[in-house]
């Protein structure tokens, strides 16, 4: 199992991203061989792992484009790329790995082109087709987080992920300890994954989890998940990958060699852990009290969301919340504004991190983010 040791700073920095990340989706799908990737991608992922530099975390929780992700991947420092490729290959680099490890720019451009082709043909259609499913998953987990705190989120991520204070346990064939040392844990919804994938990044430890672990067609059943993998590419047939830890911690099993950052999937389940204890409530700050509202704030008290965003954007945000996955035309009709005006307002809401948008054919489908849920909940009090 992978044990992620979390302190108070890690819990405070635990976050749930509002949508799948493009590069994580591409390389999880490539690792699972759900499509037929080209040699450039196939040589960089197998069912047991892929190097973490291929799928960096974003700087902010706001949705990002594929080009943004590729830019950050290509900008990864040469020492890290080489270290992770050596760990992924067991120290034996082929010609393609060697070109990437030496920072060859044409090789990275070729890799970026291969990622774009795979994304456009497979990843983007799959993500767009699951827009409503993604929204429902994020909304449910945000509700759990609001009702029961971080423990509630941990409890609903996936059956293979469990909390035993102060350790977040991911059932897998690898026996590793990770200590974020204040960087926290980032949970990433995934359409491509059929089981959680754990990796590291300078910003945090991350877990990409399947949005419908038991319901999506092709997802393994509980009995199938317990069966050992077979074939030369199974996790059991390869050396356990090591994860980098922060200074002063040990993330590698004894004798495993130098650490190398790899993202790997969860494996066979372990016995269930005892129910974790609840966190004590935080004390209120002494002397804190609410300030009375003055006459100038009367409009804000009547509809604080409209006072903050404007009437049309507030109405659109509420419409998206009531019609997750709705198209721009659906939302324009519901609010009673023109299509160009709705499109412009939705763009502003998306840029503010309040919406995620997925295209399916010629239609754009919109869903609210956790930030939007929090804003709407606060405004309705």
Quote the pLDDT of residue 357. Answer: 85
Q: pLDDT tens-digit profile of 113-157?
A: 999 999 998 888 888 888 888 888 988 888 888 888 888 889 889
Counting residues of the chain whose pLDDT is more than 90, the rounded percentage is: 25
The predicted structure's pLDDT at residue 113: 94
- Average pLDDT of the chain is 75
Asked whether the predicted pLDDT for residue 282 surpasses 50, the reply is: no
Q: Once rounded to an integer, what is the mean pLDDT over residues 216-231? A: 34
- According to the model, what pLDDT value does residue 213 have? 40
Q: Which domains, from first to last, does the chain contain?
A: 2-221+231-265 (no CATH), 299-379 (1.10.10.10)
Compare 82 and 294 and report the one with higher pLDDT: 82
**79 or 260: which leads in pLDDT:** 79
5-64 pLDDT, tens per residue?
A: 999 889 988 999 888 999 999 999 998 876 677 888 989 988 878 898 998 888 776 667
pLDDT at 271: 38
Residue of 326 and 208 predicted with greater confidence: 208
Contact 144, 156 (CB under 8 A): yes
Q: Is the pLDDT of residue 96 over 90?
A: yes
Q: What is the DSSP annotation of 325-336?
A: TEEHHHHHHHHT
Q: Is the pLDDT of residue 163 over 50?
A: yes
CA angle 325, 326, 331 (to 5 degrees): 150
Label residue 251 by pLDDT band (50, 70, 90).
very low
Q: Sign of dihedral through CA atoms 296, 302, 307, 308? A: positive
Q: What is the pLDDT, as a whole number, of residue 325?
A: 80
Look at residue 224 and tell me whether its pLDDT is greater than 50: no
Is residue 323 a contact partner of residue 334, using CB atoms and an 8 Å limit?
Answer: yes
Least confident of 34-48, 94-108, 243-257: 243-257
Which pLDDT value is given to residue 267? 61
* pLDDT for res 269: 38
Looking at residues 247-263, what average pLDDT do you find?
38
Full 3-state SS string of 155-199: HHHCCCEEEECCEEEECCCCCEEECCCCCCEEEEEECCCCCCEEE
User: What pLDDT score does 135 carry?
Assistant: 87
Q: What is the largest CA-CA distance in the chain?
A: 73
Average pLDDT of 252-258?
29
What's the average model confidence in pLDDT over 197-210?
Answer: 87
The residue-averaged pLDDT of 199-206 equals 83
Q: Could you say which DSSP state residue 152 is in?
A: H
Do residues 201 and 17 make contact, with C-beta atoms less than 8 angstroms apart?
Answer: no
Give tens-digit pLDDT for 295-307.
Answer: 434 444 567 888 8
pLDDT-derived band at 378 (thresholds 50, 70, 90) equals confident
């Amino acid at each position: 199992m992978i044990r992620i040791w979390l302190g108070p700073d890690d819990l405070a920095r635990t976050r749930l991203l509002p949508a799948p990340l493009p590069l994580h989706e591409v390389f999880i799908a490539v690792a699972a061989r759900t499509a037929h990737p080209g040699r450039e991608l196939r040589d960089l992922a197998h069912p047991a792992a892929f190097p973490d530099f291929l799928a960096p975390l974003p700087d902010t929780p706001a949705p990002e484009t594929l080009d943004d992700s590729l830019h950050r991947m290509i900008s990864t420092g040469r020492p890290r790329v080489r270290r992770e490729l050596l760990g992924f290959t067991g120290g034996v680099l082929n010609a393609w790995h060697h070109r990437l490890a030496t920072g060859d720019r044409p090789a990275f451009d070729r890799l970026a082109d291969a990622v774009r082709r795979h994304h456009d043909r497979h990843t983007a259609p799959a993500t767009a087709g699951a827009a409503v499913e993604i929204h429902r998953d994020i909304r449910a987990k945000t509700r759990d987080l609001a009702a029961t705190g971080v423990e509630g989120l941990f409890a609903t991520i996936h059956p293979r992920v469990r909390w035993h204070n102060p350790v977040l346990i991911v059932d897998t064939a690898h026996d590793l300890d990770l200590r974020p040392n204040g960087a926290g844990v980032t949970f990433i919804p995934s359409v491509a994954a059929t089981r959680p994938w754990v990796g590291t990044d300078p910003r945090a430890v991350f877990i990409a989890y399947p949005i419908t672990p038991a319901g999506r067609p092709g997802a393994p059943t509980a009995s199938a998940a317990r069966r050992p993998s077979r074939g030369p590419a199974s996790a059991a047939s390869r050396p356990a990958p090591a994860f980098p830890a922060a200074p002063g911690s040990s993330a590698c099993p004894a004798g495993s060699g130098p650490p190398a950052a790899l993202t790997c999937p969860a494996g066979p389940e372990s016995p269930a852990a005892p129910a974790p204890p609840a966190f004590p409530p935080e004390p209120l700050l002494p002397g804190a009290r609410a300030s009375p509202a003055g006459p100038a704030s009367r409009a804000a008290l009547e509809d604080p969301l409209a006072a903050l965003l404007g009437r049309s954007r507030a109405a659109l945000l509420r419409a998206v919340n009531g019609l997750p996955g709705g198209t721009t035309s659906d939302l324009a009709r519901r609010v009673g504004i023109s299509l160009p005006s709705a499109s412009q307002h939705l763009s502003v809401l998306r840029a503010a991190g309040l919406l995620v948008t997925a295209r399916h054919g010629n239609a754009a489908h919109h869903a609210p983010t956790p930030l939007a849920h929090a804003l709407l909940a606060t405004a309705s009090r």
